[in-house]
Amino acid sequence: MSFGHKHILGIEHLSREDIFQILDTAAGFKEINTRAIKKVPTLRGRTIINLFFEASTRTRTSFEIAGKRLSADTVNISASSSSVVKGETLEDTARNIEAMHPDIIVMRHGASGAPHYLAERLDCAIVNAGDGAHEHPSQALLDLFTIREKKGSLEGLKVAIVGDIAHSRVARSNLYALTRVGAEVRLAGPGTMVPPGIEKLGAEVHHDINDAIRDADVVMMLRIQLERQGKTLLPSLREFSRFYGLNQDNLKLARPDALVMHPGPMNRGVEIASSVADGPQNVILDQVENGVAVRMALLYLVAGGEATEES
């Protein structure tokens, strides 16, 4: 059985079966990360280029480790040090990279749709490591992996996603992924941060964080990035924290065994109180750990090609 997709551009295009195939594959790889020798020869001889047009130490490092543990040769190209700043077009950059014959390009870009643009023009597999406010599939998959690991299953769970939904690729990818595996998603954010029509993707929308958190099995907080989104969206971080921040008081509304998640990096004291971020319910570092296994799974699955013969 091979994976049915050449690229991983977003969760939107993945079926429930695809998602479980990725999670099961990741479970197989997770064991490697606890060995003394954390390396298998699976992708020996393959070249993976991490093409990052936006700074992201966390995601890039996670993909890089994932590639290296599979014995692939990984090369990082970041926009600040490349020719992108000199006005080279994305197509030219991509063609130059392709001339070096990578097998997989892992791409982070500030423009929504940039990985789709590349996928249409290049032969190699593209793995989206975050595009604009569109999707961040590996993050959603590692979130699902973590939830499944802690809760046993995903079906029927109540998951609250809180914060700047409008500008969050993490929220979109998680919304697609969680609804596809049968979880119930509640979104909560200020009126300026809930995008039009998002409920059509199968989420309940709340503007009171308490309504979203009540009886939730999982509370996923999003990073607020006010400096990026302009000053008209919020009066102040102080007010955001007061109405949409997760703290010990409102967390009591969730189920006692609810998981607290955050894609990082956290703004402590803004969207999440330190007491909660460091509290017993947080699985934030599990997310980071599982990120490597999930990314190994993604690299392995796309490396196998999409239409190979059944064995």
Partner 1 sequence: MPEVTTVILNQAGINRALTRIAHEILEHNKGTEDLVLIGIRTGGDHIAGDLADRIAAIEGEKPPLGAIDITMYRDDLDSRGSLPLGRTEVPFDVDGRKIVLVDDVLYTGRTIRAAMDALIDLGRPRNIQLAVLIDRGHRELPIRPDYVGRNVPTSREEDVAVDFDAERHPCEVRLIKP
Partner 2 sequence: MSILIKNGRLIDPANNIDDHLDLLLKDGLVAAVGKNLSVDADETLDADGKLVTPGLIDLHVHLRDPGQEYKEDIASGTAAAVAGGFTSVVCMPNTQPVNDNLAVTKYILSRSEEVGRCRVFPVASITRGLKGENLTEMGELKQGGAVAFSDDGRPVENGEVMRRALEYARPFDAPIISHAEDLSLVGKGVMNDGFVATELGLKGIPWVAEDAMVARDVMLAEYTGGHMHIAHISTRGAVEIVRRAKERGVRVTCEATPHHFTLTEEAVRGYDTNAKMNPPLRTEADREAVRRGLADGTIDAIATDHAPHHRDEKNVEFNIACNGIVGLETALPLALRLVRDKVMDLPRMVALFTSGPADVLGLDCGSLAAGQPADVTLIDPDCEWTLTADQLVSKSKNTPFDGWTLQGAAITTIVGGKIAWQRAEQQ
What are the residues binding partner 1 (CB under 8 A)?
1-3, 21, 24-25, 27-29, 31-32, 35-37, 39-43, 70, 300-305, 308-309, 311
* 180 labelled catalytic: no
d(CA 150, CA 257): 10
Residue 285 C-beta: closest distance to partner 1, Å? 24
* 109 labelled catalytic: no
d(CA 36, CA 57): 25
d(CA 23, CA 10): 15
116's contact among partner 2, partner 1, none, with CB below 5 to 8 A by partner kind, is: partner 2
CB 46 within 8 A of CB 56: no
* 25 labelled catalytic: no
**Cβ closer to partner 1: 142 or 224?**
142
28's contact among partner 2, partner 1, none, with CB below 5 to 8 A by partner kind, is: partner 1
CB 26 within 8 A of CB 74: no
Residue span binding partner 2 (CB under 8 A) among the ranges 86-94, 235-243, 268-276, 277-285:
86-94
Residues 6+ apart with CB under 8 A from 193: 163, 164, 165, 166, 167, 233, 234
* 86 labelled catalytic: yes
60's contact among partner 2, partner 1, none, with CB below 5 to 8 A by partner kind, is: none
> Is 21 annotated as belonging to a binding site?
no
* 101 labelled catalytic: no
Q: What token pair was written down for 98?
A: 């392709």
Q: Work out which of 34, 45, 85, 200 binds partner 2, going by CB under 8 A.
A: 200
**Buried residues in 13-52 as b, exposed as e (16+ CB within 10 A):** ebeeebbbbbbebbbebbebeeeeeeeeebbeebbbbbbb
> Which residues contact partner 2 (rule: CB under 8 A)?
12, 89-91, 109, 111-114, 116-117, 131-135, 166, 169, 172, 195-198, 200-201, 230
